[in-house]
């Protein structure tokens, strides 16, 4: 943002002021970004450069009650999800359909399967049946991992059969590819897909 004095001259802060502003600004250098924000930024990078077209899916919502205190300020007071959501993101890369879910955990020894739902697993199976590329991006154990959907489905079915209710850290590390964090793009998962599928 540019600031000007009343006479029109542009205000240039001194170096001390600039350093103090950077120090007090918690957004400086993208600290505290969530996995979703990082992925949205990454997808925008891919889109802007013509690499891939991938978007976050909107969640269908049925609005029931809206308050109109004035014409320009409608406030939704009550709404319901129309249907169960499937996965977070979908799109296309090199002519192949991509579909994936993004999940985070602070657990240090395993990834809880309660973060997923049966209808999401069924959706992933349907994508795989149509030869789509389906995977999950997991933020866990101080890293970001891309796990192909067949492994997640295998762990889900183990749980449904009375087995573990989580994926062990060693299993995540064995059946996933760690995605190094970068600047642009932040989470370059396309590079991992290249090595796995192309």
Q: Report the sign of the C-alpha dihedral through residues 56, 59, 63, 69, in that order.
A: negative
Owner of token pair 């985070």: 104
As a whole number of angstroms, the distance between CA 152 and CA 14 comes to 54
Q: Which residue has the higher pLDDT, 72 or 146?
A: 146
Q: In this predicted model, what pLDDT tens digit does every residue of 177-188 receive, in sequence order? A: 999 999 999 999
Q: In this predicted model, what pLDDT tens digit does every residue of 36-46 receive, in sequence order? A: 999 999 999 99
Mean pLDDT for the stretch of residues 110-138: 96
Q: How do the domains of the chain map onto residue ranges?
A: 30-58+85-197
30-58+85-197, what's its fold?
Answer: Trna Endonuclease; Chain: A, domain 1 (3.40.1350)
> In the predicted model, is pLDDT for residue 17 greater than 60?
no
Q: In this predicted model, what pLDDT tens digit does every residue of 52-93 receive, in sequence order? A: 999 998 776 778 888 887 777 888 888 776 666 789 999 999
Cβ within 8 Å of residue 97, ≥6 positions away = 90, 91, 127, 130, 132, 133
In the chain, % of residues over pLDDT 70: 81
């Amino acid at each position: 943002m540019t600031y000007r004095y009343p006479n029109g001259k542009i205000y240039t802060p001194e170096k001390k002021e600039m350093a103090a502003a950077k120090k007090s600004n918690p957004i400086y250098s993208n600290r505290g970004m969530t996995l979703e924000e990082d992925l949205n930024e990454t997808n925008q990078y891919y889109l802007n450069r013509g690499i891939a077209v991938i978007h976050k899916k909107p969640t269908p919502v049925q609005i029931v009650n809206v308050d109109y205190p004035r014409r320009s300020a409608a406030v939704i007071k009550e709404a319901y999800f129309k249907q169960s959501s499937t996965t977070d993101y979908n799109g296309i890369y090199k002519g192949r359909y991509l579909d994936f879910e993004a999940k985070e955990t602070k657990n240090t020894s395993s990834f809880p399967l309660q973060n997923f739902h049966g209808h999401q697993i069924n959706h992933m199976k349907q994508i795989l049946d149509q030869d789509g590329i389906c995977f999950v991006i997991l933020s866990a154990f101080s890293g970001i991992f891309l796990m192909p959907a067949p492994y997640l489905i295998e762990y889900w079915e183990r749980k449904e059969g009375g087995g573990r209710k989580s994926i062990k850290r060693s299993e995540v590390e064995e059946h996933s590819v760690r995605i190094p964090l970068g600047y642009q793009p932040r989470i370059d998962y396309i590079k991992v897909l290249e090595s796995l599928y192309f």
